[in-house]
Each structure stands twice: as structure tokens, then as C-alpha cells.
Amino acid sequence: MKTWIKRLSALAGVAVLAGAGGLAWYGNQPLRIEPLPKTINVTPGTHLKSLSAMLEREGVIGNARVFWLLGRVLGKAGTLKVGVYTLDTPLTPLELYAKIQRGEVSQAMVQFIEGWNWREVRAALAAQPMLKNDSAGMSDAELLRAIGAAETHPEGLLFPDTYFYAPHSSDLGVLRRAYRLQHEKLRAAWETRAPGLPYRTPYEALIMASIVKKET
């Protein structure tokens, strides 16, 4: 019995070594990415398994399970940086993991969630490591003027969406885009509004809709 157990242990050890050796070999083999450059989008909430599946669908890797296993062995789970990555040169699976772990993005992103208040938006922008926080120290009134807003109250002025930005660009640029997009959406809704509504401006209608939504 002891001899049989020793043989099983030896075989298990060989299998572990073979598996580790195979992963090490795989991790250093150049990926066949065609055509180059290729763009991949790592979105908020992406985890190791969904990343591997996405890369296989996009033709970046050949086997999602092996890529996922390599990441698990290397402890890459939880280290993925969101953003848009441009793959413009050949690289290995290890180099690809390192690129995503370091956050070497061609475009980063920030998400404004529906229902967020102004304070939550500013906190989300301040937490972006690749975004210049030019609005830091500005009062709400100063910030509204900086993005070209004529309104005096900030709530409801920004459209909830995911916004992409170039690394090291200004947070004011993101805010301006969110403000303009909200205005476009409001204007489109205002032009198709039902007759007889007791609102003078699109913003008045927005505020009332927000109040009704909170109460329900």
C-alpha cells in the first residue's frame, strides 16, 4: 500500500511539474494577433474569466481556458485595469497580462451611474489615476462656469454614461462632454413632449422627473 501511495505521489508531482512547465512555455510564446493593430476594451466589472473569453472572441488568444489558468497561477485576478488597449506590436501572454495590470491604456474610462448626485460624480473623477483633476478646489459655481453651464445648480446636468478619455487629459473635458450630452438628450425629449405640460424649460421637466422618480 505504501509503495502504491508513493507511486501516486510521484506521478502527481510529475503532472504538476509538467503543467507548470507547460504554462511557463505558453506564457512566453508570441501571440498570433492578426491584423495589427487591434483594440480591446476592458470594461468595469471585467474579471479574469470574462477577460479570457473576450480575448478569445477577438482573436487575440487561441485558448481562453489556458490564458485564464495562467492568470490564476500568477495571481492576476483582481489586478485588471479598465480602459481601451491598443495592441500594435506582437507580444506574449505574460506581456499582455503585464500591459493590462499596469493599465497601459490608449483610452481610459470613467462611468457616471444613473442616480448619482454631484458629489458622487466629483468623487469618481477624483479617483481616476490617469485623469488630471483640474476641478480640485473649485466650488460648484466655479466648476459650472468652467464647463460652460448657465445653470446655477449642478444636480441633473450630466448625462449618466461611460466616458472615454486620453490618459492625463483634464476632468473638465469629461464634464463638458457629459453636460453637452445631457443638453442634447433633454432638447430631443423637449421637442417631442406632450402638449400642456406645466414646464417652461427642459431643465424644469428634468427636475420634476427626478423628484417623481425618487418618490416612487
User: Residue ranges per domain, the chain?
Assistant: 28-102, 110-215
Taking phi over 0 as left and psi of -120 to 50 as alpha, with beta for the rest, 51 belongs to alpha
- pLDDT on residue 143: 96
Rounded mean pLDDT, 75-100: 92
Confidence label for 79 from pLDDT (cuts 50, 70 and 90): confident
Query: What are 187-211's pLDDT values in tens digits?
Result: 877 676 666 666 666 666 566 555 5
- pLDDT on residue 14: 33
Query: CA 188, CA 161: separation in Å to the nearest integer?
Result: 17
Which residues does 30 contact at the CB level (< 8 Å), separation at least 6? Answer: 90, 91, 92
Determine what percent of the chain is predicted with pLDDT higher than 90. Answer: 57
Given a cut of 50, is residue 180 above it in pLDDT? Answer: yes
- Domain 28-102 part of CATH 3.30.1490.480: yes
Rounded mean pLDDT, 29-46: 91
Given a cut of 90, is residue 16 above it in pLDDT? Answer: no
Query: What are 119-148's pLDDT values in tens digits?
Result: 999 999 999 988 999 999 999 999 999 999
Given a cut of 60, is residue 98 above it in pLDDT? Answer: yes
Alpha-carbon distances of 76 from 63, 73, 81, rounded to whole Å: 17, 8, 11
Rounded mean pLDDT, 65-83: 90
- pLDDT on residue 186: 82
